Structure 1
Amino acid sequence: MSSPETPAPQPDSHHDDAEAADAEQTAPTRKSPIGPVLLLALAAAALWGSSRMTWVTLKSSDGLTEPRTHHLDGGVWFGALTPLALVLLASIAAVLAARGWLRRLLGVVIAIVAAVAAVPGFAMLTHHGNTSERAVRLAELPARAQVDQLTTAGLPALLSVLGALAAFVAGVLLARMPETTARLSGKYDNPVFRRASAAEQVAARQAKAAPRQSDTPDQPDESVATGPLSERVLWDALDAGADPTDDDPGRR
């Protein structure tokens, strides 16, 4: 009885795909910027909320009309507060799209934006600057008007500082993120290529296993026993329509 014919070797593309998939599995895990993204979302919400709260309440009278009360919110007290909140919100999408040195550069920019956003709140909390003159100018009081009472609110200023601090921490984390853990092969990061590669690997294993199982069903095929496919490859193969559990693809 003639010995069973040795299956012909598969094209190098299958071998290369298998090696690439194994290299991907043993490569460092992608470091996801979930922490910085959450901090940026909290920072944007804090700055936006602070811009809607009243920072200074001013009561004035001019001797001709009834006394007036002016409520200066954060958007008026520091005009850039709302735009900075929107910038931090938009930076979330940029962080998720950026990789490597570009993500670290974005972290530096975010840290600078956070430092700028902290200035008005810090000045308010530490009583730096002439609050009364600034309030009169922003309230656009006439020259004859007199300030009867001026009250500052510490909570909105503190909220803006905390939001700026969260954004600054997010920027530092992004700036310190290693490039090697923030980038993988573009081919295997794409689900389309990943599923196609998984389907090819499954088809190659089934093609090798079928002749051996038909000739010597009781003996394992050493040429195929290269270890189980990774869980990711199995799921990608299923997504591509290939059944990795079907040992005889010709039997339908």
Structure 2
Amino acid sequence: MTSPTPSKRPLWTVVAALVLGAAALWGSSRLVWSAQERDAGVRGMILATQTGVDHSGALVPLAILAVAGVAGAVATGGWPRRVLGVVLAVAGLWACWIAVDGVSFGGFPPGTPVWQLFLGRGLALVAGILVLAGGLMSTKHARTMPRLGARYSAPTVKKSARDPDTELWEALSEGEDPSDR
């Protein structure tokens, strides 16, 4: 069975999705995810904000996993790439779950930058979708994407070198006249 010719387009799509997903996860970890009014004693009521990394400490490790997934997608092939794709797809689903877990659409304290709250979670959701898509695409196209060092591996079909004299004798044995060639 011959393997299909490798195409670089799916590999670059996977790499782009994972890099963009990692950058968006890191960015969303720095943005505000929630805000609450809190009693600060003498100072009165203050607006306490919580960033993405305060909400869930998994955002930055998921971003690092996505970056490591780029190296894995480029370097591996076959079933290791499929396993990596499944791990990345699960990580993308996890990021999506973190983004939507605990979201509220009302009851914000006065002075709350509501658009910032939804921007942080929305960016994490988009990042999770990108990592999920990169993982699924890596799993689907595991055989057709090129892998690192594939051009230096031994060919699967061995070409036999034929001696011209042997070919002439075989032609005579089969009843052909080799001078007619």
Q: TM-score normalized by structure 1?
A: 0.51
1:189 paired to 2:151: yes
1:64 aligned counterpart, secondary structure: helix
The higher radius of gyration belongs to 1
CA contact (8 A) 1:57 1:150 kept: no
User: Equivalent residue of 2:36, what SS?
Assistant: strand
Q: Which moves more between the two structures, 148-157 or 115-124?
A: 148-157
Which of residues 130, 151, 167 is equivalent to 1:166?
A: 130
**1:91 CA drift (Å):** 1.1
Identify the residue that residue 121 of structure 2 maps to in structure 1. Answer: 157
Deviation digits for residues 191-240 of structure 1 (CA, Å, limit 9, x no counterpart):
9x9xxxxxxxxxxxxxxxxxxxxxxxxxxxxxxxxxxxxxxxxxxxxxxx
Alignment-derived partner of residue 34 in structure 2: 56
Matches within 5 A, 1:18-57: 28-32=4-8, 33-57=11-35
Letter in 2 for 1:190: Y
2: CA distance, partners of 1:93 / 1:122: 29
Q: Any idea what SS the aligned residue of 1:79 has? A: coil
Specify the alignment match of 2:175 in structure 1. Answer: none
Contact 2:82 2:140 in 1 (8 A): yes
Which residue of the other structure, out of 112, 127, 139, is the alignment partner of 1:175? Answer: 139
Query: TM-score w.r.t. structure 2 length?
Result: 0.69
8 A Cα contact 1:124 1:157, kept in partner: no
Amino acid at match of 1:68: I
- What is the deviation of 1:182? 4.0
Distance change in 2, residues 1:167/1:43 (3 Å): same
